[in-house]
Structure 1
C-alpha cells in the first residue's frame, strides 16, 4: 500500500517539475536547499529568488518576438513592469537588467522612478506609463518628470479632467494614452470598469478635448480586463471591441501608434497548472494584424504591463508546523508559526491559491489536515490546495519537525500585508531573504530584513518602549 507522502505526489501530479525536485526526503526549489536555509535563518521565512524575475521577462520577450516574426508584424514590442506588484528595490534592479520599461499607478511611484534615474537604472528613453486616477500629488510628480526632460513619460488618461490638470503643470508638448473602461464578465458585481473611459466615448472625447489641443499628442490606447489574458470567448470579444476603437481612433488621429494590452498572464498556482503562453501571444498578434489589415491601418506597437507574471514566481514563504489540534473526529488543524492573513493576505482576501508543499519528511505517512494561523481570527486559515480539495501533509509528530513552503507568492503579498508596519494581532513580519545565482550556478543568499520585534511594534503604536 502506498502510504508515503512521496507516493501521493507521484500518483497525483507530474513530479519532479522544472523548479521543484526532491533530494532524498527534502524538497528543492530551483536547486535551492530549503532545509539549509531553515537551519541557517530559521522559520518563518520569506524569500525572493531574483533570477526567476529575469527568466520570466526573457520568456515573454521571446514569445512576442517569435509571434511577430511568424506573422511578419511590423510593430515593436515593449515589455513594461507593473510596479504595484512589488516596489522593492531588489525587484526593480533585477527587472531593469533586461531592457524593459515601467508602468506606475500612483504618486510615489514617480519618486521611485527618479531614484532609479539617479542611480542609472533607467534613462530618459525608458517609457514610464502612468496609469491610475490622478490628482494633485500624482499630477505634480508626472509634470516634474516630464519638465525635467523625461519625454517618454506618458500619462494614461483615466477620466475627462486629467488632460486639463496635466496641461496646467506640464511645460510644452507631451504624449498621452487613453485607457478603455472595459466591460466586465457578467458574473462581476459591476458591468464596466471604474478605470478609464467607455468604448463609445473615446472618439468623441478625442474630438472634443485632444484633436485641437496642440500641447498633447495621443500616442497610445490602453486595454485591460480584470480576468486577465485567457483563452475565453469573453477575452477575444473584448479584444475585438478594443481593436474597433483603435481603428476608429487611428483614422482621426494618425499619430496614434501604440496599443497597450495590459497585463494578466497567470502565475502557476498548482502542480497541475497548464497555460499555453506562446499560443496566446501568437493569437493576440495574429488577431491584431488581421484586424488592422482589414481596416487598412498600420499595426500598432505593442506594450504589455506584466506585474504578477514578472515577480510572482520569484517569491516563497516557509513555515514550521508548531502543533496539531484535533478539533473533532474529522478535522485536524496544523498550526503554523505565523499568520496567513498577515503574510499571505490574498489567501484570506480573495481565496487565492499558491503552490504548497512540505519541505521535509516526504517518505513519511501522510494525513489530511487543515492549516491554521496564529491570529485570534477564524478566517486565518488555508484549507484547500488547488485541484485536490484538501491538504495532505506528512503526519504531524511532535518529535519530528515539519516545515511547509508556499511558492510563487512574490506579487502583492508584502504591500497588501503592510510590509514593515502593524499586523493583525501584532504577529511579527518574518525575516526576508534575497537569493541569487551567478552564471556558474552558484547560489548566494542575503538577509534583506530581520523579523519584527516588540520594539518595532511599540514604536509604530506610539509607546515609549518602557516596560
Structure 2
C-alpha cells in the first residue's frame, strides 16, 4: 500500500519537474539542497534564486521570436519588466542582463531608473514606460528624465490632466502612449477599469489634445487586462476591441507604431499547473496581424509588461512546523514559525495559491492538515481553498522536525507585506538570502530584531530623549 508522502505526489502529479526533484527524502529546488540551507540559516527563511529571472525572460523572448517567424509578423518585440512586482536592486540587476526595458508605476520608480542609469545597468537605449496615475512628483521626475536627454521615456497617458502637466514641465520633444480603460471581467464589482481612457474616447482625445502639439508624438496604445493573459473569451474579446481602436487610430496617426499588451503571463501556482505559452503568443500575434491586414495598416511593434512572470518563480519561503494542535476530531493545525499574513499577504488578501511542498521527510506517512500562522488573527492560515485540494503533509512528530516550503512567491509579497517595517502582531521579517547560478549564497538581510522594531515605533527615540533630559539635569 502506498502510504508515503512521495507516493501521494508521484500518483497525483508529474514528478520530478523542471525545478523540483527529490534526494534522500528531501526536496531540491533548482538543484539547491534546501535542508542544507535550513541547517545553515534557520527558519523562517526567504530566498531568491536569481538565475530563474533570466531563464523566464529568455523563454518569453524565444516564444515571441518563434511566433513572429511562424506568423510572418514584421513588428519588433520588446520585453519590459514591471518594477512594481519587486523593486529590489538584485532583481533589476539580474533582469537587465537580458536586454530588456522598464515599466514604472510611481514617482520613486524614476529615482530607481536614475540610479540604474548612473550605475550603467540601464542606458538611454532602454525604454522607460511610465504607467500609472501621475501625481505632481511623478510628472516632475518623468520630465527630469526627458530634460536630461532620455529620448526613450514614454509616459502612458492615464487621464486628461497629465499631458498639459507634462508640457508645462519640459520643452523637449517626447513620445507618449494612451492607456485604454478596459472593461473588467463580469465577476468584478465594477464594469470598467479606473485607469486609462475609455475606448470611445481614445480617438477624440488624440484629435483634441495630441494631434496639433508640436512637441508630442503618439507612439503607443497601451492595453492592460487586470486578470492577465488567459485563453478565454473575455481576453480575446477585449483584445479585439483594443485592436479595433488601434487600426482606427493608426489611420489618422502615422506616428502610432506600437501596441503594449500589458497584463502578464500566469505563473505556476500548483504542481499540476499547465499553460501553453507558445500557443498564446502565436495566437495573439496572429490576431493582431489579421486585423491590421484587413485594415491595410502596418502591424505594431509589440511591448509586453511581465512582472510576476519575470520574478515570481524565483522566490520561496520556508517555514518550520512548530507544533500540531488538534482542535476537534477532524482538524489538525500545523503551526508554522511565522505568519502567512505578513510573509505571504496574497494568500490572505486574495486567496492566492502558491506551490507548496514539505522540504523533508518525503518517505514518511502523510496526513491531512491545516496550516496556521503565528498571529492572533483568525485569518492567518493557509487552507485547502487556496491550495485547490486538501493539504497533505508528512505526519507530525515532535521528535522529527518538519519544514514546509512555499514556492513561486517572488512577486509582490515583499512590496505588499512591506519589507522590514512593522508587521501584524510584530512578527519579525524573516532572514532573506540570494542564490546565484553556482548556488553561492549571499545574505541580503538578517531576521528583523526587536531593537529595529522598537526603533521604528519610536521607543528607542523616547529612551534617548529621556536620557538626554536626565543628563541636562
Per-residue CA deviations over 1:129-156 (Å, capped at 9, x if unaligned) read 0000001100000000010011100000
- In 2, the alpha carbon distance for the partners of 1:464 and 1:98 equals 44
Aligned runs of 1:274-289 on 2, under 5 Å? 274-289=274-289
Matched, 1:35 2:31: no
- Corresponding position of 1:435: 435
- Corresponding position of 1:460: 456
Q: Report SS of the residue matched to 2:262.
A: coil
Counterpart contact for 1:366–1:393, Cα < 8 Å: yes
- In 2, the alpha carbon distance for the partners of 1:228 and 1:190 equals 17
Consecutive unaligned residues of structure 1, counting only runs of 5 or more, are none
Query: 97-106 or 262-271: which moved more?
Result: 262-271
- In 1, the alpha carbon distance for the partners of 2:287 and 2:153 equals 28
Aligned runs of 1:410-449 on 2, under 5 Å? 410-437=410-437, 442-449=438-445
Q: CA deviation at 1:385?
A: 6.8
- Corresponding position of 1:366: 366
Matched, 1:322 2:318: no
Q: CA deviation at 1:3?
A: 1.1
Q: CA deviation at 1:171?
A: 1.8
| TM-score normalized by the length of structure 1 | 0.98
Matched, 1:60 2:60: yes
- Corresponding position of 1:187: 187
Per-residue CA deviations over 1:163-205 (Å, capped at 9, x if unaligned) read 0010000122110000000011111101000010000000001
- In 1, the alpha carbon distance for the partners of 2:73 and 2:264 equals 22
Q: Report SS of the residue matched to 1:188.
A: coil
- Corresponding position of 1:257: 257
Which of structure 1's runs of 4+ aligned residues deviate more than 6 A? Answer: none
- In 1, the alpha carbon distance for the partners of 2:42 and 2:401 equals 12
- Corresponding position of 1:375: 375
Q: CA deviation at 1:215?
A: 1.6
Counterpart contact for 2:76–2:302, Cα < 8 Å: yes
Query: 209-218 or 340-349: which moved more?
Result: 209-218
- In 2, the alpha carbon distance for the partners of 1:82 and 1:53 equals 13
Per-residue CA deviations over 1:252-303 (Å, capped at 9, x if unaligned) read 1011000000132001000110000000000000010111000000000000
- Corresponding position of 1:393: 393
Counterpart contact for 1:269–1:386, Cα < 8 Å: no
- In 2, the alpha carbon distance for the partners of 1:302 and 1:451 equals 42
Q: CA deviation at 1:389?
A: 2.3
Q: CA deviation at 1:217?
A: 0.5
Aligned runs of 1:335-350 on 2, under 5 Å? 335-350=335-350
Per-residue CA deviations over 1:346-373 (Å, capped at 9, x if unaligned) read 0000000100000000111100000000
- In 2, the alpha carbon distance for the partners of 1:386 and 1:366 equals 20
- In 2, the alpha carbon distance for the partners of 1:451 and 1:172 equals 47
- In 1, the alpha carbon distance for the partners of 2:181 and 2:102 equals 21
- Corresponding position of 1:154: 154
Q: CA deviation at 1:388?
A: 4.8
- Corresponding position of 2:470: none
Q: Report SS of the residue matched to 2:460.
A: coil
Counterpart contact for 1:272–1:387, Cα < 8 Å: no
Aligned runs of 1:233-244 on 2, under 5 Å? 233-244=233-244
- In 1, the alpha carbon distance for the partners of 2:78 and 2:315 equals 25
Q: CA deviation at 1:211?
A: 0.8
- In 2, the alpha carbon distance for the partners of 1:263 and 1:226 equals 6
Check 1:139–1:186 CA distance in 2 against 1; reply closer, same or farther (3 A cut). same
Q: Report SS of the residue matched to 2:180.
A: strand
Q: Report SS of the residue matched to 1:182.
A: coil
Counterpart contact for 2:354–2:387, Cα < 8 Å: no
- Corresponding position of 1:221: 221
Q: CA deviation at 1:387?
A: 6.5
- In 2, the alpha carbon distance for the partners of 1:19 and 1:123 equals 33
Q: Report SS of the residue matched to 2:323.
A: strand
Consecutive unaligned residues of structure 2, counting only runs of 5 or more, are 465-473
Aligned runs of 1:190-201 on 2, under 5 Å? 190-201=190-201
Counterpart contact for 1:396–1:402, Cα < 8 Å: yes
- In 1, the alpha carbon distance for the partners of 2:97 and 2:369 equals 43
Q: CA deviation at 1:399?
A: 0.6
Number of residues of Structure 1 aligned to a counterpart in Structure 2: 463
- In 2, the alpha carbon distance for the partners of 1:101 and 1:384 equals 38
